[in-house]
């Protein structure tokens, strides 16, 4: 008798990298951060994590999926958190993959409409990306309370995807996507690479401590591969991103104690993290702490 065990994880991970783009903000030329969108696929099915804000970038991502996982069925588009730059072009993904389901946790879904209301829609998204169009949010479906979903591989093998509700990240009700069989975490905006971190929604020390605690939750999963959503192309996907994101939050608190106006905070941050990019995120964050944001 022969016992045949095929227990080897048969999932592939590919990352689409959207380059940093020049933007106008309060009549100043600055840069939007680069972004990643992660495709996890078995021999037959696939999951996409997040979608860009601009429609033509969503179309480019959809075309990239066809090339990267030819013939495979895109089952899910998972939205990590309710920021426009992580979901708004999902209709362009659905246009190419009409069978896919766009899913998120209930907490994220409840928070999505804030992106289409003032001051975020007009003051941020339309200001930075003048051609931006709103998506039909009723197409986003809540995950069951277990927050697990699955895709199939060969021989009826099932692969688990687990939404981890960490809570505070750079926004409220943040999640990361955990794929236990390959020790993968797709970090959304809980985990940053070397890009300035969005602190506009973390004005109090309590909120910043909660974000740090969320990163401790992710560390406890002991992931081997960690994909931050805002990261530079050459950085790689190691777990060091978790510690570095925490160091930035603590460092920001130190700079805040020294700065007397937003211009000083911005200059101190540039000096402390000269290798980080995404200057519009730094500008808006620095202004927010002194009540000067648009």
Ligand X SMILES: *[C@@H]1O[C@H](CO)[C@@H](O)[C@H](O)[C@H]1NC(C)=O
Q: Which stretch binds ligand X (CB under 6 A): 97-105, 131-139, 191-199, 214-222?
A: 131-139
Residue 95, interface with ligand X (CB under 6 A)? no
Neighbouring CB atoms inside 10 A of 143's CB total 21
Distance CA 12, CA 41 (A): 5
Residue by residue, DSSP assigns 140-175 as EEEPPTT-EEEEE-GGG-EEEEEEEEEE-SSSTTEE
Q: Of the candidates 138, 146, 204, 234, which one interacts with ligand X according to CB under 6 A?
A: 138
Residue 114, interface with ligand X (CB under 6 A)? no
Distance CA 66, CA 274 (A): 37
Interaction residues for ligand X, span 25-44 (CB under 6 A): 26-27
Cβ proximity of 75 and 102 under 8 Å: no
Residue 124, interface with ligand X (CB under 6 A)? no
Neighbouring CB atoms inside 10 A of 182's CB total 16
Reported as half-sphere exposure (CB side, CA atoms, 13 A), residue 69 has a value of 25
Smaller CB separation from ligand X, 60 or 235: 60
Q: 240 is written with which tokens?
A: 């060091």
Distance CA 200, CA 283 (A): 10
Smaller CB separation from ligand X, 18 or 176: 18
Q: Of the candidates 14, 60, 201, 235, which one interacts with ligand X according to CB under 6 A?
A: 60
**Closest distance of CB 85 from Zn ion, Å:** 5
284 interface partner picked from ligand X, Zn ion, none, CB below 5 to 8 A per type: none
Residue 284, interface with Zn ion (CB under 5 A)? no
Distance CA 93, CA 71 (A): 15
* Strand extents, DSSP E, 45-157: 45-49, 73-78, 101-104, 140-142, 148-152
Distance CA 139, CA 102 (A): 7
Residue 235, interface with ligand X (CB under 6 A)? no
Residue 85, interface with Zn ion (CB under 5 A)? yes
Crossing angle of helices 240-258 and 205-220, rounded to 10°: 170
Q: Of the candidates 40, 46, 51, 54, which one interacts with ligand X according to CB under 6 A?
A: 54
Pairing of strands 140-142, 101-104: parallel
Q: Which stretch binds ligand X (CB under 6 A): 7-15, 50-58, 87-95, 249-257?
A: 50-58
Residue 50, interface with Zn ion (CB under 5 A)? no
Residue 189, interface with Zn ion (CB under 5 A)? yes
**Closest distance of CB 9 from Zn ion, Å:** 29
Smaller CB separation from ligand X, 124 or 179: 124
Q: Of the candidates 20, 33, 42, 57, which one interacts with ligand X according to CB under 6 A?
A: 57
Q: Which residues bind ligand X (CB under 6 A)?
A: 26-27, 54, 56-57, 60, 136, 138-139
């Amino acid at each position: 008798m022969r016992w045949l065990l095929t227990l080897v994880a048969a999932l592939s991970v590919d990352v689409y990298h959207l380059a940093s783009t020049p933007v106008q903000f309060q009549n100043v030329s600055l840069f939007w951060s680069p972004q990643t969108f992660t495709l996890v696929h078995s021999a037959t099915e696939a999951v996409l994590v997040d979608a860009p804000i601009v429609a033509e970038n969503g179309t480019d991502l959809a075309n990239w999926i066809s090339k990267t996982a030819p013939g495979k069925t895109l089952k899910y588009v998972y939205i990590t958190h309710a920021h426009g730059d992580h979901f708004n072009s999902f209709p362009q993904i659905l246009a190419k993959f009409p069978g896919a389901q766009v899913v998120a946790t209930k907490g994220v879904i409840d928070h999505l409409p804030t992106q289409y209301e003032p001051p975020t829609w007009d003051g941020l998204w339309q200001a930075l990306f003048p051609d931006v169009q709103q998506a039909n949010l009723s197409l986003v479906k809540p995950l069951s309370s277990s927050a697990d979903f699955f895709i199939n591989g060969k021989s009826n093998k099932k692969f688990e995807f687990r939404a981890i509700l960490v809570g505070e990240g750079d926004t409220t009700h943040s999640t990361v996507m955990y794929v236990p069989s390959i020790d993968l975490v797709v970090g959304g905006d809980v985990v940053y690479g070397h890009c300035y971190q969005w602190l506009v929604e973390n004005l109090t020390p309590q909120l910043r401590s909660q974000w740090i605690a969320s990163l401790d939750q992710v560390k406890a999963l002991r992931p081997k591969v960690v994909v931050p959503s805002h990261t530079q192309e050459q950085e790689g996907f190691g777990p060091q991103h978790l510690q570095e994101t925490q160091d930035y939050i603590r460092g920001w608190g130190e700079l805040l104690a020294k700065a007397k106006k937003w211009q000083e905070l911005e200059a101190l941050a540039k000096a402390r993290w000269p290798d980080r990019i995404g200057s519009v995120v730094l500008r808006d964050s620095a202004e927010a702490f002194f009540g000067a944001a648009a």
